[in-house]
Amino acid sequence: MADDIPILDLAPLLAGEPDALERLGPQLHRAFTEVGFYFIRNHGVPAALIEEAFAAAARFHAQPLEAKLAMPFNRDNIGYLPMRGNTTRMNAVDGIKKPNGNEAVFFKRELPEDHPDRLSGRRFRGPNQWPADLPGFRETALAYAGAMETLGRRLVPIYAAALGLPHDWFEDKFREPMFTLRMTHYPHQAPTAPEDEWGLAPHADTSFMTILAQNKVPGLSIRLPDGRWIDAPALDGTFLVNGGMMLRRWTNHTFLATPHRVTNRSGQERYAIPFFMDCDYEAVMAPVPTCVTPENPPRYPPFTYLEFMNEYSGANYGDRPAAGVALQGA
């Protein structure tokens, strides 16, 4: 099944070979017009750091529930979301399902206390919440997020090449990209669990780019454009990358936002550490010019990260109580 998902080798790009983008661009274009996912290998992220991030996720979720609830998921989409704490709506596939059977904690860019966005209370720019009794956790999470941001920014020029744009076309839109690191725990689902119970219900991501470290415990499935669901293969030493609704809107539906889902019937606890990267907070996303034709006129008006995420959060988290209120039955 790995043959269904293209593999991009970043070694020439990281080595500075002058024609690397010209070679990688068509590969990425094929990935996003035929599949919606691609692997990257020779990406430059140390394996030890990836293992440390997975271990940190397991340490966080091993805490007592009270310790996790002390970091409540808030209006900035930062903090701890308890088991079945959200329902996929805006980007659901084949109808709205039951609340998702996972628990997760979310972190964004660590801004200085005197940053203007923090002082002004801009949404999605608030302070991270950190566990009180997990030595080294904060440092590991920030190191991993930093490595993922560096990797994501290296990938962005490939998107420009894939879209027939100058290689620096996205540069001014990703000077300080918005991002979210999500550390998720998927408990084992019993074989007798109903078929309509999901660790993460079928959905498309919201992001411009999702970078997913390979998981030793299976569970992720992808729906290809021909309607087939395939189990995502785990290739050693790679990341799996996909795009979401932001990328699809920005490219005027030229690129796919491929649905996927998670179940965990492995008999083991499953952890995932997806990294979601988007453009700058104030960047204006008008349809990419090479994606607009007389046959495919602009489908959306220009929009910003804040406008897009307000719509998403209101749909998927709108039924949650106010931040700071503990959930029952978590």
CB contact at 8 A, 182 and 206: no
- Is 325 contained in some domain? no
Average pLDDT over the chain reads 91
pLDDT at position 197 is 79
The pLDDT of residue 90 is above 70: no
Q: What is the pLDDT of residues 130-163, one digit of tens each?
A: 999 999 999 999 999 999 999 999 999 999 999 9
Return the minimum-mean-pLDDT range out of 4-18, 132-146, 192-206. 192-206
Residue 195 falls inside a structural domain = yes
Where residue 198 sits, what CATH number does that domain have?
2.60.120.330
Max distance between CA atoms of the chain, in angstroms, equals 58
pLDDT at 91: 63
Give per-residue pLDDT as tens, 13-71: 999 999 999 999 999 999 999 999 999 999 999 999 999 999 999 999 999 999 999 99
Place of tokens 């490595």: 147
Amino acid letter at 115? Answer: H
Are 195 and 263 in contact by the 8 Å Cβ rule? The answer is no
Please report the sign of the dihedral spanned by the C-alpha atoms of residue 168, residue 170, residue 173, residue 177.
negative
Q: What are phi and psi of 86, to 5 degrees?
A: -150, 160
For residue 327, give the 3-state DSSP assignment: coil
Which residue, among 2, 4, 8, has the nearest Cα to 211 in the 3D structure?
Answer: 8
pLDDT of residue 326: 27
Helix 20-34 / helix 137-162 crossing angle, nearest 10 deg: 90
Report pLDDT for 324. 32
pLDDT computed for residue 89 by the predictor: 67
Q: Is the pLDDT of residue 319 over 70?
A: no
Would residue 237 be called left, alpha or beta, if left means φ above 0 and alpha means ψ between -120 and 50 degrees? left
Residue 269 and residue 188 in contact, taking contact as beta carbons nearer than 8 Å: yes
What is the pLDDT confidence band of residue 4, given thresholds at 50, 70 and 90? Answer: confident
| pLDDT confidence of residue 85 | 77
Task: Spell out the residues 6+ positions from residue 220 whose beta carbon is closer than 8 angstroms to its own.
Answer: 212, 231, 232, 240, 260, 261, 262, 272
Residue 86 confidence (pLDDT): 74
In this prediction, residues 191-205 reach a mean pLDDT of: 83
> In terms of pLDDT, which residue wins out, 86 or 212?
212
**Is 330 part of a structural domain of the chain?**
no
Mean pLDDT to the nearest integer, 326-330: 23
Does 67 reside within a domain? yes
The pTM (predicted TM-score) of the whole model is 0.92
What per-residue confidence (pLDDT) applies to 321? 42
Residue 325 predicted with pLDDT over 60 = no
Number of domains present in the structure of the chain: 1
Structural domain contains residue 205: yes
Q: Per-residue pLDDT tens for 60-89?
A: 999 999 999 999 999 999 999 998 777 666
Residue 324 in domain: no
Range of the domain at 118: 2-316
Query: How many Cβ atoms from other residues are within 10 Å of residue 115's Cβ?
Result: 14
Per-residue exposure over 45-62, b if at least 16 CB sit within 10 Å of its own CB, e if not: beeeebebbbebbebbbe
Strands 220-223 and 229-231: antiparallel
Q: Look up residue 27 and give its two tokens.
A: 């590969």
pLDDT for 97: 66
In a domain, 290, yes or no: yes
The answer to whether residue 208 scores a pLDDT higher than 90 is yes
Confidence of residue 196 (pLDDT cuts 50, 70, 90): confident
Residue 84 has a pLDDT of 76
Give residue 318's pLDDT.
Answer: 46
| Number of residues that this document lists for the chain | 330
Lowest mean pLDDT among 2-6, 27-31, 205-209, 243-247: 2-6
Place of tokens 């805490």: 63
Name which residue leads in pLDDT, 85 or 182.
182
> Please, what sign has the CA dihedral across residues 203, 209, 210, 214?
positive
- Give a yes or no: residue 106 inside a domain: yes
Q: Which helix (H) or strand (E) segment is 107 a member of?
A: strand 103-107
